[in-house]
Amino acid sequence: MIDAGQIKTGTTVHKTPVARFEQPSQEDYSATTEGIRMSKMRAILTAVILSITTTAAFAGNAAAGSYNGVCESSNGGEVCLYNTTNFTGAVYDTLYSKSEYTGTYYGTNTPIDNTVSSTWNRDPDTLVTFYGMPNYTGGAIGQAGGYKHSWEFMGFNNVFSSHCFESNPSCPN
């Protein structure tokens, strides 16, 4: 009788090499599958963490910004306009030059135009010039970066209609 892996030629029986492949055990299969699953989960988790980190970084900057009712120093700094002389009460906060005060103080119906009594320039490096008329015209006075001014005793109470950051190329020199 000839066994598997033997070839008979004439009266001689030759043994041929037989490759033996063992089926992986259920444990080996589970470990491999688990390893693949874990690798995929790590990749997904890494992507999610990166996404959250990136979003949080941008959200941090976006949250600190114009017209949110909080006078803060962010993205170069805001200029804050108050309708009282002691830097309290209604506030209009902005990161941008305004050629005309057409809006209202945050959370109110009080118009900004000609109602500004005090200001705070939260941009530490940039001069802000306030103007008595729209489009950066009329009487003008500058406020250095980082300073607060109450305008009641300086003759500029309730007269401002526009302001411009010195760094804005659209502003008059």
Residue with tokens 């993205």: 75
Residue 76's pLDDT band (boundaries 50, 70, 90)? confident
**More confident call, 125 vs 21:** 125
Q: What would the two tokens of residue 79 be?
A: 């200029």
| pLDDT over threshold 60, residue 53 | no
pLDDT at 58: 38
Q: Is the pLDDT of residue 57 over 80?
A: no
- Average pLDDT taken over every residue of the chain: 80
8 Å CB contact between 132 and 138: yes
Going by C-alpha positions, the residue among 35, 55, 37, 34 that lies closest to residue 45 is 37
81-130 residue pLDDT tens = 999 999 988 999 999 999 999 999 999 999 999 999 999 999 999 999 99
Domains of the chain: which residue ranges?
Answer: 23-63, 79-165
- State yes or no: pLDDT of 56 exceeds 50: no
User: 79-165: which CATH number, 1.10.3720.10, 1.10.645.10, 2.60.20.10, 3.30.390.50?
Assistant: 2.60.20.10
The pLDDT score that the predictor gives to residue 35 is 64
